[in-house]
Structure 1
Amino acid sequence: MKGLKKTLSLNRKNSNGADGTKKDKSGSSVAAPPPPPNNAKPSATGAAPQRNAGSAPAPKAGGDASPPNIVVSSDPVHEQSTNPRTPDRAEPPRNTALNRLRAGPKDTIPIVGKPPRKQRSSRFVVTERVEIQRLPSFNETPIPDRASLFVAKLHQCRVLFDFNDASSELTGKQIKAQTLHEMLEYITSQRGVITEHIYPEVVNMFASNLFRSIPPPVNPTGDAFDPEEDEPVLELAWPHLQIVYEFFLRFIENGDFNIAIAKRYIDQTFVLNLLELFDSEDPRERDFLKTTLHRIYGKFLNLRAFIRRSINNVFFQFVYETEKHNGIAELLEILGSIINGFALPLKDEHKIFLTRVLLPLHKVKSLSLYHPQLAYCVVQFLEKDPLLAEDVLLGLLKFWPKVNSPKEVMYLNEVEEILDVTDPVEFQKIQVPLFQQLSRCINSQHFQVAERALLYWNNEYVVNLMSYNLSTVLPIVFPPLYNNSRSHWNRTIHGMVYNALKLFMEINAEMFDECMQSFKERQIKEQQDAVDRYDAWQRMREKAVKNVNGKLPANYHEVEHPPPPAPIPVDDNDILDLTLELNAATIDDVQADYLDDQGMERVPMADPGMDATYDVGNPDNQPSSPGGPQSPHVRRKSVLPVDPTVLRDLQAHRSLDDLGYPAANGRASYGEFS
């Protein structure tokens, strides 16, 4: 066998030239495919061949040269088999991902090794490696030469570096960061440094560093990207990008900034490129983008209408096409300040924006990522024009979720905020469909939905609206309140229902008794209708059996259906019993042992047999010792893995509020511009 391997190796060497760079990779008597290039990584577990990159080692004369131990396999990592004729991939894996999941804890997500790295959030195209030289500082340069030095530094900062390799070009990265800091301090502390020929240089430097393509947020392995669960991919080049953003903001806010000159360079194309960056996964960059676009909207009056239309187009694409975008919350924050500055009366353009853009944003499944900002924008419209309450509430009822309980809770939160700014006259227009939906929420078996709907009775203004329209509201909500007072599985809901019924009884006891009587009569009528339907079906069946021409199928098997129960007559004792219960019971009567600090009912954990238990009395919610006193288990979420690098970078991010930028949260309003 060794002689055959040697002969094949010599023939391959002679046929490919004297340098002998190509080698035989055969591990058996059959020739194998050509080897991978020399820079291919060796096997992680197999023996790495010792050879030079230029040529193969020549066999010794007069002796048998042992062939190199090379494993031919397409798999990057494998264990070398003890049998050279049996390929490794024929053996079943010893520890698969499924086995690791089965062997791991039941209520945690296992972290095996290093998690797969997702693709970075942006794509910088570095065509060639450029070495930059450190330029003199502004303090070391005479005043007449500082303008040309400023331009030279701007040109120097247009050079991009590849941050995928943290150890490459360290000197150039440090020089660029230092240069950006020098220019930031220069335009902040000096006056008269922003001249006409500086504007294109600053805009070009900003565009060169920031405008790039944002790839779709997709995991390379596993499930699709979930913005609510997956950690964001932080921008690797952020040490440079942050200073560029700060420099551009100082440039716009400088006292020497001339809007007439800047209009030539900060145009519609610039705004569109800026809006594309809002899809970045890095929340730090979106924070700076929000403030940057906010400043541009405030200073460039000619771009205001275009910015609003462009943001609308982003929303349209998000709602009706992709349903994936990372910067919806930041864009809504900008719109919140814009809406706050709308002039009265509102234009038809703005009303159309409310009904056709903001309201459809409620139907996206990722509503939780931007719902607080969206609700703020809607409430701002209603504070400007209370007559829009009917359109808004009917629009919300149109998009009301059917099976998504967390989303339904968000809708209930927003509706309560809307009712707080709704006039009593407008409330009368929507009270019937609104409380019909609230009745369905009270009947929900999801206790958080029912609880959130019942919290409306803790809002003094909403209770006043109910009391003024009690003849319309009480007949709608009484049936679900009465049913849940008897049959709901959650004890907290029982107490809240009793409070709501007691409140209605205190407002108008006579109307409460009438609703109770009407509800009982309606129940009796429904039971009587069921009996009548059963009797009619039995009469029809008897006629069919007596029909001489009729014939039943051969495989017909009759199933006996018991008759429905007979109607129960109305008894005044039921009303009296409920009244006594309401006078004696409130939510405070719910046993405290069954509730946690947030008022939620304690339930057993998914795995009560775990060694560590959670002490409810411990404010830090630390696991108590297994041998300690047994405390009731409380509901808790699964333990999600957290990347410490991402967490550290996000905590180290300096918010724009800390940098001294006023109204960085997007709440400053601008006057309406026609």
Structure 2
Amino acid sequence: MSSAATTAPSVDKVDGFSRKSVRKTRQRRAQSSSQFRSQDKPIELVQLPLLKDVSAQEQPELFLKKLQQCCTLFDFLDTLSDLKMKEYKRSTLNELVDYVTLSRGYLTEQTYPEVVKMVSYNIFRTLPPSDSNEFDPEEDEPTLEASWPHLQLIYEFFIRFLESQEFQPSVAKKYIDQKFVLQLLELFDSEDPRERDCLKTVLHRIYGKFLGLRAFIRKQINNIFLCFVYETEHFSGVAELLEILGSIINGFALPLKAEHKQFLVKVLLPLHSVKSLSLFHAQLAYCIVQFLEKDPTLTEPVIRGLLKFWPKTCSQKEVMFLGELEEILDVIEPTQFVKIQELLFKQIARCVSSPHFQVAERALYYWNNEYIMSLIEENSSVILPIMFASLYRISKEHWNPAISALIYNVLKAFMEMNSALFDELAANYKSDRQRERKKDKEREDLWRKLEDLELRRGIQNSDGVIPT
């Protein structure tokens, strides 16, 4: 053990391509689990009769016994251990799923604590440590949960339990409490996307059925996001939590509470600043648009927030921002558009001027949107002077012919909207360019004279004679 411990660091030092070595390590542990509580000897479970084979009076008691039996955990990293008992538990879980789906009258008061105990014992665990510094979710394969054959059925059982017509939140709230929800939210950091998808459904059902837990759930999601943005920049389940929030925001009553508006400005908008935005941007943009559809007066602070976090060096993120901005403009009210049009189109002008053709292309596609075009036409006297210089210059200089063609179409549209202003701006632009060229020539002439004078002084210093 000691020799292995001493040689490992030297291997990392020698390997100049650390990401490759990390990927190999991750491939070796493509499946991981910290769920199993170690056992000294093989696990033996007493095989109980099937629920369908006993009388209706005996079923509730047998159901509880099977729940207790399913609290037993197995080591799935050891693929050869307890094969028979693993299969027995899997078949029992399948039976329990069918039972809660099809049966009636099984949900007695004694059932609730046993169900929550069995679910808790199986799903709540310390997650395997993540290589957060080196792991790239866009490139690297996630670590899958080795015990998924059982875990999947546990989640399916719990979802069917929560969706049962006989489910009584008034009884269940004693067991599905804040502590339970907190542990559930921690599991959203699982790298296994299958588990996060199940967790999303479970949390959504709990939010819908337990009114007393709603504020707590929102607060804890708030805390997770703040920690993600300002501390760790690592949390696997941001997209899933945002998807749940999209449904929650859609159900907010009007007028919006101050806490909801603060959540938008202080939590959702700063999520745009993280490096891994691409992993959850679609869900984030949906949440933002939901807020604006609820309360159009939030449009100005939202767009100002987007402009504040606008990426300066990452073209991929800039394209995403432009896409989100178009979604916002699709629902913006004309009165709100007027308030932010100058700031907005100054940024769009910068994007059109971008040497990265995808950024320029995405910005120019705004002119293919009928609603945005109607807003631009109504306010062309403000927008055209902001955009004209960038468009005219890039139409002559851009390296990509496709961009030049798009700009030509935009200039043509502007000319049709307001030909008088267009002609005036074109004349002003040309005269400004002539003045700039004249200044450039004067500057060049001055530098040439200074260089000649310096040369003459150099000759005078060396020969003592000024040439005629």
State the match for 2:53 in structure 1. 140
Alpha-carbon distance in 1 for matches of 2:390, 2:327: 23
State the match for 2:463 in structure 1. none
Structure holding more helix per residue: 2
**Superposition pairs for residues 162-311 of structure 1, below 5 Å?**
162-218=75-131, 224-311=134-221
1:2-28: per-residue Cα shift (whole Å, max 9, x none)?
xxxxxxxxxxxxxxxxxxxxxxxxxxx
The change in CA–CA distance for 1:386 and 1:255 in structure 2 (over 3 A counts) is same
- Does structure 1 retain, via aligned residues, the 8 Å contact 2:268–2:284? yes
- Does structure 1 retain, via aligned residues, the 8 Å contact 2:33–2:77? no
State the match for 1:323 in structure 2. 233
Alpha-carbon distance in 1 for matches of 2:390, 2:234: 38
State the match for 2:462 in structure 1. none
| Letter paired with 1:144 | Q
The change in CA–CA distance for 1:113 and 1:189 in structure 2 (over 3 A counts) is closer
State the match for 1:332 in structure 2. 242
How far has the Cα of 1:530 moved from its partner?
A: 4.8
| Letter paired with 1:312 | N
Alpha-carbon distance in 1 for matches of 2:266, 2:140: 30
The change in CA–CA distance for 1:75 and 1:394 in structure 2 (over 3 A counts) is closer
- Does structure 1 retain, via aligned residues, the 8 Å contact 2:36–2:74? no
Alpha-carbon distance in 2 for matches of 1:299, 1:260: 9
State the match for 1:124 in structure 2. 35
Secondary structure at 1:309's aligned position in 2?
Answer: helix
- Which residue, out of 50, 55, 62, partners 1:149? 62
- Does structure 2 retain, via aligned residues, the 8 Å contact 1:121–1:214? no
How far has the Cα of 1:151 moved from its partner?
A: 1.1
- Asked if residue 523 in structure 1 is aligned to residue 436 in structure 2, the reply is no
1:154-180: per-residue Cα shift (whole Å, max 9, x none)?
110000000001121101101101111
Comparing 332-341 with 146-155, greater Cα deviation is found at: 146-155
- Which residue, out of 357, 361, 364, partners 1:454? 364
Alpha-carbon distance in 1 for matches of 2:208, 2:26: 43
Alpha-carbon distance in 1 for matches of 2:194, 2:4: 39
How far has the Cα of 1:526 moved from its partner?
A: 3.5
State the match for 1:58 in structure 2. none
State the match for 1:346 in structure 2. 256
Secondary structure at 1:144's aligned position in 2?
Answer: coil
- Asked if residue 470 in structure 1 is aligned to residue 383 in structure 2, the reply is no
- Does structure 2 retain, via aligned residues, the 8 Å contact 1:124–1:212? yes
- Does structure 2 retain, via aligned residues, the 8 Å contact 1:121–1:280? no
State the match for 2:282 in structure 1. 372
Alpha-carbon distance in 2 for matches of 1:114, 1:323: 22
Alpha-carbon distance in 2 for matches of 1:301, 1:513: 62
- Does structure 2 retain, via aligned residues, the 8 Å contact 1:346–1:385? yes
How far has the Cα of 1:531 moved from its partner?
A: 5.8
| Letter paired with 1:404 | C
Alpha-carbon distance in 1 for matches of 2:411, 2:173: 63
- Does structure 1 retain, via aligned residues, the 8 Å contact 2:124–2:184? yes
How far has the Cα of 1:475 moved from its partner?
A: 1.1
The change in CA–CA distance for 1:538 and 1:429 in structure 2 (over 3 A counts) is farther
Alpha-carbon distance in 2 for matches of 1:187, 1:287: 21
State the match for 1:395 in structure 2. 305
1:230-259: per-residue Cα shift (whole Å, max 9, x none)?
111111111101111111111111122111
How far has the Cα of 1:540 moved from its partner?
A: 10
- Asked if residue 499 in structure 1 is aligned to residue 412 in structure 2, the reply is no
Alpha-carbon distance in 2 for matches of 1:267, 1:114: 39
| Letter paired with 1:353 | F
Identical amino acids, percent of aligned pairs: 56
How far has the Cα of 1:507 moved from its partner?
A: 1.4
Secondary structure at 1:143's aligned position in 2?
Answer: coil
**Superposition pairs for residues 559-570 of structure 1, below 5 Å?**
none
Alpha-carbon distance in 1 for matches of 2:25, 2:221: 39
1:358-397: per-residue Cα shift (whole Å, max 9, x none)?
1000011110000000000000011011111111111000
- Does structure 2 retain, via aligned residues, the 8 Å contact 1:439–1:480? yes
State the match for 2:322 in structure 1. 412
Alpha-carbon distance in 2 for matches of 1:527, 1:333: 55
- Does structure 1 retain, via aligned residues, the 8 Å contact 2:143–2:191? yes
State the match for 1:428 in structure 2. 338
State the match for 1:639 in structure 2. none
- Asked if residue 514 in structure 1 is aligned to residue 427 in structure 2, the reply is no
- Which residue, out of 74, 88, 97, partners 1:161? 74
Q: Which runs of 5+ in 1 are unaligned?
A: 1-35, 37-73, 77-95, 102-108, 546-550, 553-674
Alpha-carbon distance in 2 for matches of 1:75, 1:267: 45
State the match for 1:593 in structure 2. none
The change in CA–CA distance for 1:351 and 1:390 in structure 2 (over 3 A counts) is same
1:181-233: per-residue Cα shift (whole Å, max 9, x none)?
111111211111010011110001000000011133218xxx81001111111
The change in CA–CA distance for 1:75 and 1:190 in structure 2 (over 3 A counts) is closer
- Does structure 2 retain, via aligned residues, the 8 Å contact 1:133–1:175? no
- Which residue, out of 293, 297, 321, partners 1:383? 293
- Does structure 2 retain, via aligned residues, the 8 Å contact 1:121–1:281? no
Alpha-carbon distance in 2 for matches of 1:372, 1:127: 42
Alpha-carbon distance in 1 for matches of 2:27, 2:303: 45
Aligned length: 445
Alpha-carbon distance in 1 for matches of 2:240, 2:111: 30
Alpha-carbon distance in 1 for matches of 2:98, 2:249: 35
How far has the Cα of 1:133 moved from its partner?
A: 2.0
The change in CA–CA distance for 1:119 and 1:234 in structure 2 (over 3 A counts) is closer
TM-score where L is the length of structure 2? 0.89
The change in CA–CA distance for 1:285 and 1:523 in structure 2 (over 3 A counts) is same
1:291-331: per-residue Cα shift (whole Å, max 9, x none)?
00000000000000000000000100110011111100000
TM-score where L is the length of structure 1? 0.62
How far has the Cα of 1:544 moved from its partner?
A: 12
- Asked if residue 313 in structure 1 is aligned to residue 226 in structure 2, the reply is no
| Letter paired with 1:134 | Q
Alpha-carbon distance in 1 for matches of 2:190, 2:15: 31
1:648-668: per-residue Cα shift (whole Å, max 9, x none)?
xxxxxxxxxxxxxxxxxxxxx
- Does structure 2 retain, via aligned residues, the 8 Å contact 1:121–1:282? no
1:526-556: per-residue Cα shift (whole Å, max 9, x none)?
44555666788899999999xxxxx99xxxx
Alpha-carbon distance in 1 for matches of 2:190, 2:272: 22
State the match for 1:654 in structure 2. none
RCO greater where, 1 or 2, for CA within 8 Å and sep 6 or more?
1
Q: Which runs of 5+ in 2 are unaligned?
A: 6-13, 459-468
**Superposition pairs for residues 76-115 of structure 1, below 5 Å?**
none
- Does structure 2 retain, via aligned residues, the 8 Å contact 1:121–1:217? no
The change in CA–CA distance for 1:121 and 1:426 in structure 2 (over 3 A counts) is farther
Alpha-carbon distance in 1 for matches of 2:301, 2:4: 61
How far has the Cα of 1:496 moved from its partner?
A: 0.5
1:9-63: per-residue Cα shift (whole Å, max 9, x none)?
xxxxxxxxxxxxxxxxxxxxxxxxxxx9xxxxxxxxxxxxxxxxxxxxxxxxxxx
Higher CA-based Rg = 1
Alpha-carbon distance in 2 for matches of 1:480, 1:133: 78
